[in-house]
Amino acid sequence: MKHTLPDHVLVVGASAAGLSTAEALRRKGFGGRLTLLGAETALPYDRPPLSKQILSGIWEPTRAQLRAKEALDALDAEFLLGDAATALDAGRRTVRTASGGSVTADAVVVATGVSPRALPGQDGLRGVHRLRAVSDAVALRTALLGARRLVVVGDGVLGAETAATARQMGLDVCLLGPQPAPLTAQLGPYVAECLADLHRQHGVALRGGALVDRLLSRDGTVTGVRLADGEELAADVVVTAVGSAPATDWLRDSGLVLDDGVVCDERSRADEGIWAVGDVARWRHQGLGRTLRLENRTNATEQALAVAGNILGEDRPYVPVPYFWTDQFDVRIQAFGLPSPDARTVLVEGDPAEGRFVVRHDGPHGPVCVLGWRMPKQTRLHRASVVDHYTRPSRRTTPSAGMSSA
Amino acid sequence: MKIIVDEEKCCGAGQCVLIAPDVFDQRDDDGIVVLLDARPPVVRHDAVRECAAVCPGAAISLDEDA
Ligand SMILES: Cc1cc2nc3c(=O)[nH]c(=O)nc-3n(C[C@H](O)[C@H](O)[C@H](O)COP(=O)(O)OP(=O)(O)OC[C@H]3O[C@@H](n4cnc5c(N)ncnc54)[C@H](O)[C@@H]3O)c2cc1C
Ligand code: SF4
């Protein structure tokens, strides 16, 4: 198929994935018109620090900005910030916006990320927080400074990080969720159990295998959480971190295939001239032979690079080794690859008793994941052992187990 | 080209080392980036630009004119 270079690229969503796509386009020599449309008014900023340095107050919120103003100016792009896309006409590649405007381009990149889910009854209740945007982090910090007891609902990365940060701020913290240990899905049982120990050592009360019945409140203010088994946990502040949904509402009538994300081919292409990147994209991972949607920071930039290349005709599949990290208390955990529940856990470096180690998950066809605990460099060195699993075209007989998102 | 790294933003992912191992390394104890060559030769510039772009901590910035 002949590739026509676009004259105008519109990126919808001006955060990690969107901005990286724009930057990569310029770096690869794209000289045409470039527009970034973003719902938030703040200049593009990074989210990982929100639950860490911004929530704890170590950084001023502006420190999370992704690029200095001069670097954004040098992009020679038009930033339409504080305006959200409300609809896409995929055939024309026209995007309508909340302010009543519309932008038509030759290529449209969907980079709208995800929005956090809510618990029933949460909206409008004082004292219940979610954490996705910098304004959420600032509001939560203010609330925590005036609170004594925090309950975090949700035992994924976000919930566990929030619990750790709040505990370090001196609050009484309870972290609850359905899994036996926090992050079991992302880390596998062994490392997740180490993480549970870490939280306990620091005085976080853990409630594994717990389901929420409902939020408790008085006069419109939250007072705690009631569990399915009837137990009631009192709280001044409740954080819900119960997963996110791809921000695809605005694409409802676009004709694009939506299935827990914008469904794309191996090249992250959703339709003729339409691409998706970052947390919102569900693309076909050629090495794994199935679709994947990743919610992590490295994927946002790596997929952006791939999409920018494909917009310019490189015609290459996006075949990453998934990577994410999390910081909790004084521990940095890193994972290359996706853990698999049926894998064997093998210690390959360090010693858990000394608080520094790397383990590898060996699946039936070889290593699928390496996980490091306070050993970043060594973990990266073991990454090589899992590359094959992700980059070789699928030759496995059994479908690889695991999660669809990290 | 001059490279500036912000150690406080570095999350030890090592993406930079994977792309440009003769320009970046990581400390053995905590994985924080070590700049081996703050003024890399021209042949490395493209790789270094890619490092700055993919660094998940936005910890690498470049002064192209220096
Ligand atoms: C608190 C927190 C901590 C995290 N920590 C880690 C970590 O330690 N390690 C890790 O690997 N990952 C972490 N992540 C995940 C990581 O931040 C995300 O994977 C990354 O931000 C994804 O980038 P994105 O650009 O795809 O999506 P987003 O960052 O969500 O950006 C999407 C942008 O699109 C905008 N938008 C949405 N809808 C519209 C619309 N209709 N029109 C216009 N604009 C729209 C949004 O306002 C937003 O600015 C964390 C996330 C959070 C929230
Ligand atoms: S890529 Fe960035 S975050 Fe990762 S080690 Fe290099 S400088 Fe640090």
Contact residues of ligand 2, CB 6 A cut-off: B 5, 10-16, 24, 26, 33, 55-57, 59-60
Protein residue whose Cα sits closest to atom 29 of ligand 1: A15
pLDDT above 80: residue A53: yes
Check whether B66 has a pLDDT greater than 90. Answer: no
Residue A395 pLDDT level (bands cut at 50, 70, 90): low
User: Atom 53, ligand 1: which residue's CA is nearest?
Assistant: A132
Range of the domain at B30: 2-63
Predicted confidence band of residue A404 (pLDDT cuts 50, 70, 90): very low
Nearest-CA distance B18 → chain A (Å): 9
**SS3 at position A321:** coil
**pLDDT band at A403, cuts 50/70/90?**
very low
Q: Which residues are CB-contacts of A221 (< 8 A; sequence separation ≥ 6)?
A: A125, A126, A127
Q: Which residue of A has its CA nearest to B49?
A: A27
pLDDT of A358 over the 80 cut: yes
**Polymer length of chain A:** 406
CB of A85 closer than 6 A to ligand 1?
yes
Confidence of residue A406 (pLDDT cuts 50, 70, 90): very low
Per-residue pLDDT, A2: 58
Q: What is the CATH number of the domain that holds B46?
A: 3.30.70.20
Contact A294, A288 (CB under 8 A): no
Give the model's pLDDT for residue A392: 81
From ligand 2's centre to the CA of B50, what distance in Å?
Answer: 12
Model pLDDT for residues A62-81, shown as the tens digit of each residue: 999 999 999 999 999 999 99
What type of residue is A203? Answer: G
Q: A390: phi > 0 → left, psi -120 to 50 → alpha, else beta; which?
A: alpha
What's the confidence (pLDDT) of residue B48? 97
Considering chain B, what is the average pLDDT of its residues? 95
Structure tokens at A93: 């590649």
Q: Which residues of A touch B65 (CB under 8 A)?
A: none
Query: Which ligand has the minimum distance to the alpha carbon of residue A379?
Result: 2
HSE toward the beta carbon, residue A192, CA cutoff 13 A = 19
Class at the top of the CATH hierarchy for domain A118-242: alpha beta
Single-letter residue type at A46: D
Q: How much is the pLDDT for A11?
A: 98
Task: Indicate the pTM of the whole model.
Answer: 0.95
Residue reference for tokens 């940095």: A332
Asked whether the beta carbons of residue A48 and residue B11 sit closer than 8 angstroms, the reply is yes
Q: CATH for A330-394?
A: 3.30.390.30
A229-283: per-residue pLDDT in tens? 999 999 999 999 999 999 999 999 999 999 999 999 999 999 999 999 999 999 9
pLDDT exceeds cutoff 60 at A1: no
> Worst-scoring range by mean pLDDT, A3-7, A80-84, A280-284, A377-381?
A3-7
Local structure of B32: helix, strand or coil:
coil
Q: Is residue A402 pLDDT above 80, yes or no?
A: no
What is the crossing angle of helices B45-54 and A297-311, to 10°? 130
- Do B33 and B16 form a contact (C-beta atoms < 8 A)? yes
**Which CATH number applies to A8-115+245-311: 3.50.50.60, 3.10.129.10, 3.40.50.300, 3.90.1150.10?**
3.50.50.60
ipTM above 0.85, yes or no: yes
Residues of B at the A interface, defined by Cβ within 8 angstroms: 11-15, 17-18, 26-28, 30-32, 49-50, 53-58, 61
Asked whether the predicted pLDDT for residue A399 surpasses 80, the reply is no
Centroid of ligand 2 to alpha carbon of A66 (angstroms): 14
For residue B53, give the nearest of A305, A327, A332 by CB distance: A305
Calpha distance A342→A364 (Å, rounded): 8
pLDDT at residue A297 greater than cutoff 90: yes
Shortest CA distance to A238 belongs to which of A217, A255, A254, A258?
Answer: A217
What's the pLDDT at A3? Answer: 72
Average pLDDT over residues A171-187: 97
Give the residue whose CA is nearest to atom 36 of ligand 1: A112
Q: Assess whether the C-beta atom of A247 lies below 6 angstroms from ligand 1.
A: yes
Strands A8-12 and A107-110: parallel
pLDDT for position B65:
87
Q: pLDDT, tens digit, for every residue of A219-230?
A: 999 999 999 999
DSSP A253: T
Predicted local confidence at residue A139, as pLDDT = 98
**Do residues A107 and A9 lie in contact, with contact meaning Cβ atoms separated by under 8 Å?**
yes
Nearest CA in chain B to A19: B53
The proportion of chain A whose per-residue pLDDT surpasses 90, expressed as a percent, equals 94
Q: What SS3 class is residue A48?
A: helix
Q: Which pLDDT does position A393 carry in this prediction? A: 66
Per the structure, how many domains does chain B have? 1
From-to residues of CATH 3.50.50.60 in chain A: 8-115+245-311, 118-242
Position A394 confidence tier, pLDDT thresholds 50, 70, 90: low
Closest CA to A362 of A380, A392, A323, A389: A389
